Structure 1
């Protein structure tokens, strides 16, 4: 709830520090004293537009600081602060400050951390609910009517939201599968053509390197063919050097025993024959490896060209072509399997839809039943508030399927008819501001709402009424404030003022050319005097004081 409000240099207010407590607090004062200035100042910290006209004449800037304290931080408020990365320790006060410069521009702070004005508007929903002559938020806004009815009915909205989420996810999976299958079928002919082309070639991993090496060897063999042919004469034929070396070795073998040096010579000659034999084998192997076969070379080059062309076509390496073939086969298998999978997804989507519809229909029935009870409760509050000719109706309309959502299938709106025979119309279309405020009061009493803003403000809800009606308004305001709540009422009615737990008097004074607005927290004697003034006017009589005492004693 709002516990403190500090105002500096706002219009006629030079410096003002107010403390607020729980229960019903009333603000009174003569017309033109500056009650609207107080609400305008509070509106700044709630995110209203920063009008430079609010800055007190002759000052460079104005500021407003509001302090809110909570036994437990409301969920919506906690989420908004977390999203904005504003830390608030348990039990710590929430302090909102807004500064406006006379030459334009404003800055906002939450617990001394700079924030955007949009955050203030978000926080305002959980902090202050203002009902006045031109109210366009709170209970007047149809956007919140469904949630209010659900809270009144104790409806299972969470179960419907869960079923909606399941249905939405099942529908998304089905749509994705259908799109994938449709795209795959469009690609099917192309996949088959590509796969047939690859299958005809049947590429193998590592094949490119093998073919490239073979081609390189053949090309080298073609270049070295003459040299190899010349070398062959060293070994081929009976008169070749190698044959002569072998004949010499055989002759030396017969005489080697005759002398040690001959034996050593034979050993060296044998080694030479062996080495020469190995050289002959390697040259023969090289000749065979580099044998130039024009037909085989042409086959290898054609194969390499085809493989590399396919690799470019599929934007991959030649060695990756076998995996490309496997991926194509998997896609084609998926197309064939897709129809079976699609049937399963369609069944899951239908089941999720049925679960959602059943829960949404149950929620619809709960809302319709609760709407009747709420209409009766509001109707019981209208007559004491001098709205006995008016009628209230909670319209629960089932929407077409394309407008269903996490909150069910219904649109909910509070409607009123102010005169007999008149058509029902939305709350925000009512002609009289005073009637609107009393309708809102009746609705809030009927709802006994616990989940609204921490602080509720009614601005001149008693406009145009008096006597028993004003007394009924005061009684309901006090009841609505209860023990733990906080409700502030700007009022001209002594009957309403007498119901306040705390009473603030707003006054305007002038010294020369300087006019100031001040606010004073009244004690018991001050309350009697202010209520007597409200009863009698400019001259406070003893009779008015006695009547003020009776009003105060009556509460």
Structure 2
């Protein structure tokens, strides 16, 4: 709910700080005193269009700050979290300069005006004669009807069926597109596959061939080095003979040394083995070099072929085996594609049928809820002097292009203000005063169905009095049992219902300033007496105010 409203330099308001409470709060005052300025200021803080005319003459800027007390699970906190904004409190602020530029803040963090407006719509709903949001927006009617009818299970079923259907359609269309593309490229696909079949690439083959090519290119130098090494080790067998002689000399006295020569003997044995292995390795390398000597041309041709095909397909040579397998799979899919496509199409058709069933069940629930809503709203109309009016919930099936996760219906609230007159949208059929009362009747019935925590009614009692005004006050009070209600009113019957009462007045001095004062019981009595009698407050008017306050608050 709205807890505080701070206004600085907005039109006739120089400095104003208001504190609000739950229940019904009334704002009264003479026409032109500045009540609309308060609503303009609140709207500004909630993201309404900024206007240079809102800045008080001579001021550097206009500033409006609104604070709210919200439940921890209020949807607006999830919205703040999505934007990485602090959510430990809820304070919105708007600053407007004389050139019409504005800045927006949420919890002291700068934000776009669009985000501020989105947050504002979740916090406060303003019902005025020319408002185009909330109940006046037909786009909101389907959600309000679903909330009224408690359609959450049916909505969840429709949403699941919708997502399954669209997923099945996407799978079919994607596969069909791939098959069409494959058919267009079938000749190229077969040629590429035949080339890879012939090449038969292996992972790591390029590295092996590159190493072998390097060896063959340097064959003469390598052979020369191998021959020199072999000659050095094998010349007259002197190295092996020297190691053997050393071993035999030490072995003759080893037993006399108590293990002192064990390590040297072990080293000599290893040296003998390593020498034999080195000699064998040199001989094997020489033999391999001799054997591969004539392969240089073949190796280079194979290496260049691998690299050339890889370049053609835009991959690394080691990726050719995977590409080979993928092309084969595409060709196999193409050859058996019709069967797969038929299967996917059948799955999509079955999913569509399940969605239609879920949407139809939701439509049936909406029709039933619509009839209950029509009856409930109609019951509210007669006390509001709208007994000749008729309200209906119109539910139409949308074309398939309009189907969605919330079903296949268009929902609109319509009214006819006179018997026999056609029904039509609220905004086009009802006059200003009628429209405000229709909004009140709807809000009373839909008070638990998706409303913001704070509702503002701007002169909902315009053009009425007596019993009708009393009925309006009674319904506002009933609505205020579930949500916070602020009402700008000229009706004493409505004002008498309020839990808190503010008086708006102009103070004329060197400049004209609008003041707002919260009324104590005695001042409230005087204000209601003024509303009853006019400029001259009589004892009879005071007595009538006492009677009205006593009756309305009994």
User: Which TM class, normalised by the smaller chain length?
Assistant: 0.7 to 0.9
Question: How far did residue 359 of structure 1 move?
Answer: 1.2
Partner residue, 1:533: 530
Equivalences for residues 268-417 of structure 1 within 5 A:
309-316=308-315, 324-417=323-416
Deviation readout 1:473-505 (Å, 9 max, x if unpaired): 1111111111x5210111111111111111111
* 291 and 79 in structure 1: CA distance in 2 versus 1, 3 angstrom threshold: closer
Q: Deviations over 1:119-138 (max 9, x none)?
A: 22011122111111211111
RMSD: 3.0
CA contact (8 A) 1:6 1:66 kept: yes
Please list the CA deviations of residues 435-477 of structure 1 after superposition, one character each: whole Å capped at 9, or x if unmatched.
1110011111222335311111111111111111111111111
Matching residue of 2:43: 43
Q: Name the structure 1 match of 2:59.
A: 59
Given that residues 9 and 62 in structure 1 are in contact (C-alpha distance below 8 angstroms), is that contact kept between their aligned partners in structure 2? Answer: yes
Structure 1, gaps ≥5 residues long? 221-280
1:543 aligns with 2:540: yes
Which residue of structure 1 aligns with residue 516 of structure 2?
A: 519
Other structure's SS at 1:419 match: coil
Alignment check: 8 A CA contact 1:211 1:304 kept: no
Matched with 1:165 is: 163
SS at match of 1:49: coil
> Normalized against structure 1, the TM-score is what?
0.80
**Contact 2:415/2:430 (<8 A) preserved:** no
Cross-structure match for 1:110? 106
Residue of structure 2 equivalent to 1:31: 31
Deviation at 1:87, TM superposition (A): 1.8
What is the distance in 2 between the residues matched to 1:285 and 1:10?
100
Classify 1:74/1:450 alpha carbon distance in 2 versus 1 (closer, same or farther; 3 Å): farther
Partner residue of 2:174 out of 172, 176, 180: 176
Shift of 1:382: 1.1
| SS in structure 2 at match of 1:380 | helix
Equivalent pair of 1:80/1:119 in contact (CA under 8 Å): no
**1:134 corresponds to which residue?**
130
Give yes or no for contact 1:459–1:491 (8 Å, CA) kept in 2: yes
Matched residue SS, 2:419? coil
Q: Note the C-alpha offset of 1:300.
A: 8.0
More deviation, 20-29/353-362 = 353-362
Query: CA separation in 1, counterparts of 2:318 and 2:139?
Result: 63
Q: Residue 485 of structure 1 corresponds to which residue in structure 2?
A: 483
Match in the other structure for 1:19: 19
2: CA distance, partners of 1:464 / 1:402: 44
Q: How many residues are paired up?
A: 487
Asked if 1:428 corresponds to 2:427, the answer is yes
What is the deviation of 1:329? 2.1
Flag structure 2 segments of 5+ consecutive residues without an equivalent. 221-282
DSSP-derived class of the 2:185 partner: helix
Query: What SS class does the counterpart of residue 373 from structure 1 fall into?
Result: helix
User: Residues 194, 475 of structure 1: CA spacing in aligned structure 2 closer, same or farther, 3 A cutoff?
Assistant: same
CA distance in 2, matches of 1:195, 1:138: 62
Q: What secondary structure, in the 3-state scheme, does the structure 2 residue paired with 1:109 have? A: strand
1:411 aligned counterpart, secondary structure: strand
Task: Write the distance in 1 (CA, Å) between the matches of 2:444 and 2:414.
Answer: 17
Superposed counterparts of 1:65-214, under 5 Å = 65-70=65-70, 72-73=71-72, 75-89=74-88, 93-155=89-151, 156=153, 157-200=155-198, 205=205
Q: Could you say which residue in structure 1 is the equivalent of 2:266? A: none
Task: Provide the secondary structure at the position in 1 that maps to 2:437.
Answer: helix
CA distance in 1, matches of 2:289, 2:491: 121
Q: Considering only CA atoms, is the larger Rg found in Structure 1 or Structure 2?
A: 1
Displacement after TM superposition at 1:163 (Å): 1.8
Residue 304 of structure 1 and its aligned partner are, at CA, apart by 7.0
Partner secondary structure for residue 382 of structure 2: helix
Corresponding residue number in structure 1 for 2:495: 497
